[in-house]
Structure 1
């Protein structure tokens, strides 16, 4: 089938477009958030096609779009403005929620819970973790959980650098939720390297945390995904400092590379990181102590990393992820045709 989706979450979309369908991604001049088109830092398959809004309208007029995957509330409005079609009425649609709720967790109403087509049962809300599905109030909307799928990057861990690596986008703006204070605490005790958008703003904060943290200020990077994987594989261990987040794909990708994990025991971390694959603790001092032990003992780090890789490829296999999405889209297209 031909599926329209916006390029919102690069790593998730990279996994999704490995399926056996055609994928239409909107593109706009300058490639802003509503029209990023194909990824330019990752090799997506030839089955992913960029279309302008006019091209999308023509595709719909010619009957060449089977389903729409929405990921942000305003995309339903974009769909109608660009193509004249209403999600769930004129074309089968699914709404994918990537995130945990950002407000009062147990009481946050999902933005699609009261949308007419969602509440009417025509557009299911898909969550990427069971925790997210539990915490969002989606009202009468149908909900489905489809866990992440991770493309296998191969067992690339070398651990040659006695550093702990972390991937955190916008760590200063997202301070508490991203666990940036936890990251700084660990970085003040063991050498660290940090990757992600906006990491340069960490430099001034690292400079106030002593010489070990100050040295980390020289190891702040914003790399494309392929280069990030190459670089991460050389770090001894991976730190996932988030207090409140959906299950980060960067964590799963690091595990697939073979990195052992240090993380807080929150949200979906319990399912992603079993005891054989790393250490979960609410005590940043314990995380730093384990990191120091692994930096001194590469063999122990390698054993945890091997288990991390085995677990993530078993728990989040790409083929199962793709099969579940194909089944859901087939069901929605068939139900829409019968309506």
Structure 2
């Protein structure tokens, strides 16, 4: 199958393109958001080809991830819209931009997203995340806390950036992602957009991982940290409550509880290892790559058969 797909979310796409298909990624001279082409900081297989959009003529289906892409899809090509994000604005009544359409299906990445978006009569599916298992394993020798997020200063309360300082009396923070250079708080070290492999190696050396997003879809970096075996500390919000089962991490909406948990894990590396091991088993069982790819194949084949 030939699949047209814009390079929007590098981590998600890295998992998606591990399948058995041919993946056609638009590229332009500027390599901007509409034509990034192949990833530079993720490992993608040779089945991913970058081509100018006008040269992509043999696609069987388009995977769309932003409303603006709809008008770029060649006429008559079946469309699956992947919804990565939680709704914004008046959340209980937020209408999805693809609501009440019969010419596509919306594939949510979490059941939380499916629950909170109002998609009207548009058919929906949920395909939970699956990731390429990181090659490294937790060692935790550095008494530091890790965070992975993009644009933490611009996004502020959404990503829980205002909570970082609450943890500094416990241990220094290392923040990885795009736009993290804007952080200027003493005790916080910014690691600007490292290659995925390098980031995994660095996460494995930190004692624990903080997931402080108030309102977000399920971050793939949380799953990656769990599969590495890093013990995780998270706000009990959105899909995190399903991703981190009892005993596989620390969940709470009380920030003081999370700070106390961080102190405990810093002081008790053996307990940190046990928790990380439980989290790793849970993440491998729920977010394995084989299940993810099989779910996508089932949706693609079923949808294409029904659209012909």
TM-score normalized by structure 1?
0.88
- Contact 2:168 2:187 survives alignment (8 Å): no
Post-superposition offset of 1:238: 0.3
- 1:251-302 CA distance string (max 9 Å, x none): 0011111101100111011111112211111122211111111111111000
2:39 is the counterpart of 1:39:
yes
> Which residue of structure 2 lines up, in the alignment, with residue 215 of structure 1?
187
- CA distance in 1 between counterparts of 2:29 and 2:226 reads 36
Which among 250, 255, 259 is matched to residue 284 of structure 1? 255
> Which residue of structure 1 lines up, in the alignment, with residue 124 of structure 2?
143
2:37 is the counterpart of 1:65:
no
- CA distance in 2 between counterparts of 1:281 and 1:42 reads 32
Post-superposition offset of 1:188: 4.1
- 1:187-235 CA distance string (max 9 Å, x none): 34422211111212221xx2xxxxxxx222xx21111212111111110
Query: Please, which moves more after superposition, 221-230 or 245-254?
Result: 221-230
Give the 3-state SS of the residue equivalent to 1:162 in structure 2.
strand
TM-score normalized by structure 2?
0.97
> Which residue of structure 1 lines up, in the alignment, with residue 4 of structure 2?
4
2:51 is the counterpart of 1:48:
no
- Contact 1:15 1:149 survives alignment (8 Å): yes
Post-superposition offset of 1:113: 0.8
- CA distance in 1 between counterparts of 2:281 and 2:15 reads 18
2:114 is the counterpart of 1:133:
yes
Q: Which runs of 5+ in 1 are unaligned?
A: 80-84, 207-213
After superposing on structure 2, the runs of 4+ consecutive aligned residues of structure 1 that deviate more than 6 Å are none
Give the 3-state SS of the residue equivalent to 1:124 in structure 2.
strand
- CA distance in 2 between counterparts of 1:188 and 1:243 reads 22
Cα 1:226/1:196, change in 2 over 3 Å:
same
> Which residue of structure 2 lines up, in the alignment, with residue 22 of structure 1?
22
Post-superposition offset of 1:155: 5.1
Residue pairs, 1:167-178, within 5 angstroms: 167-178=148-159
How well do the aligned residues superpose, as a CA RMSD in angstroms?
1.1
- CA distance in 1 between counterparts of 2:290 and 2:237 reads 27
Give the 3-state SS of the residue equivalent to 1:133 in structure 2.
helix
> Which residue of structure 1 lines up, in the alignment, with residue 283 of structure 2?
312
- Contact 1:186 1:285 survives alignment (8 Å): no
Post-superposition offset of 1:142: 0.4
- CA distance in 2 between counterparts of 1:2 and 1:188 reads 52
Matched residues, number: 307
2:162 is the counterpart of 1:181:
yes
Q: Which runs of 5+ in 2 are unaligned?
A: none
- CA distance in 2 between counterparts of 1:40 and 1:99 reads 24
- Contact 1:155 1:256 survives alignment (8 Å): no
